[in-house]
Amino acid sequence: MKAILAHITGGDADAGVLESAHAVARMFDGHVEALHTRLDPSETGFFFGGEALAASVPVLMEAIERDAEELSRRARAHYDQWRTTHALRVVQHPAEEPGVTVSWQEAVGMPQRALARAGRLADLIVTSRLTDEPSGQTRAELETLLLETGRPVMLVPQGGRVSTLKRAVVAWNGSIEASRALAFAKPLLASTEDVVVATATERGIEACDPEPVIRYLGFNGIGARSVVIDATGGLGARLLEMAKSSEADFVVMGAYTRSRVRQLIYGSMTRHVLAHADLPVMLAH
């Protein structure tokens, strides 16, 4: 994982995102590109269509521009403080010397477009989970990273960060999304001391057999053991509870592995994790 994209919004979660990206980059002598997406008010006109709102548009545009400038200023300040604290080298091209390098990018326009474009050329995307903070990560931005980049996303909890990556929980349901998440996570899992493969029983449906996963990891030099979760009360909540009780440092899981019909019946595990994860979670779609 050499190319790491850290998406920062100018909010309180920026410090945890940058520190988490740094923690992973140290493992691989990687490069962290800090990306801030700045909304262009001229691209928001379609939100205010209709004659009744025509007179209000200039006022709204000015307010959007002021907010965008303030968030941009704060994001850059967070980046500069983090870079200075760790004495990180700024480079625009791959460096031959070992060690973590960094760069800054501010993309102006619709955030989803910039995130998709930058995310597709990252080995890992690090960002914060959903919060109630106005300057925090939005669901549209997060779902763009998950659904439109094809890359793994490390979700950092509010006020948290990646510190060590020695204990991992791998959520396994046999889906292609879980398979992709597992494959993406191998460089991180190779450095762990304890990996738990978690499967779940749900409303009478038997859990997937974890042994093929344990064998697959073993072929890759990664030892693992299994745990079966009773998903009564919500699989997302039970998974996070199990990870916390096992003192896991991070969780690996597929994102949006259920069809829309199954999400309506059973609920969405991914949506619960996006909003409530209290430890880092690496997801892939």
**What is d(CA 192, CA 190) in angstroms, rounded to the nearest whole number?**
6
- Which pLDDT score, from 0 to 100, does residue 64 have? 79
Query: Per-residue confidence at 265, pLDDT binned at 50, 70, 90?
Result: very low
- Which pLDDT score, from 0 to 100, does residue 45 have? 52
Domain boundary assignment for the chain: 3-156, 167-284
Return the H-helix or E-strand segment holding 116.
helix 111-119
Query: Per-residue confidence at 134, pLDDT binned at 50, 70, 90?
Result: low
Report percent pLDDT > 90 for the chain.
66
Q: How many CB atoms lie within 10 A of CB 161?
A: 18
CA 12 to chain CA mean position, Å = 16
**What is d(CA 152, CA 154) in angstroms, rounded to the nearest whole number?**
7
Residue corresponding to tokens 């962290």: 32
Residue 266 has pLDDT above 50, yes or no: no
- Which pLDDT score, from 0 to 100, does residue 190 have? 96
- Mean residue pLDDT of the chain comes to 88
Q: How many CB atoms lie within 10 A of CB 6?
A: 29
In this structure, what token pair is assigned to residue 51? 């004659």
Question: Tell me, what DSSP letter sits at residue 130?
Answer: P
Whole-number Cα distances in Å, 102 to 52, 108, 155, 166, 200: 47, 20, 20, 25, 40
3-156 topology per CATH: Rossmann fold (3.40.50)
Mean pLDDT of 35-47: 73
DSSP-H helix ranges across 211-259: 211-219, 235-245
Contact present, 18 and 4 (Cβ < 8 Å): no
**Whether the domain at 3-156 and the domain at 167-284 fall into the same CATH topology:** yes
Mean pLDDT of 39-48: 62
Identify the weakest region by mean pLDDT among 5-14, 24-33, 139-148, 264-273: 264-273
167-284 topology per CATH: Rossmann fold (3.40.50)
- Which pLDDT score, from 0 to 100, does residue 56 have? 59
Cβ neighbours of residue 63 closer than 8 Å, sequence gap 6 or more: none
Mean pLDDT of 226-254: 92
**What is d(CA 40, CA 81) in angstroms, rounded to the nearest whole number?**
26
Condensed to tens digits (0 to 9), the pLDDT of residues 56-65 reads 567 777 887 8
Whole-number Cα distances in Å, 276 to 9, 58, 137: 19, 37, 13
Question: Tell me, what DSSP letter sits at residue 278?
Answer: -
- Which pLDDT score, from 0 to 100, does residue 40 have? 78
Mean pLDDT of 143-148: 94
In this structure, what token pair is assigned to residue 153? 């996303």
Query: Per-residue confidence at 258, pLDDT binned at 50, 70, 90?
Result: low
Residue 191 has pLDDT above 50, yes or no: yes
**What is d(CA 254, CA 270) in angstroms, rounded to the nearest whole number?**
8
Residue corresponding to tokens 């009564």: 232
Mean pLDDT of 82-107: 93
Greatest mean pLDDT among 108-112, 162-166, 224-228 = 224-228
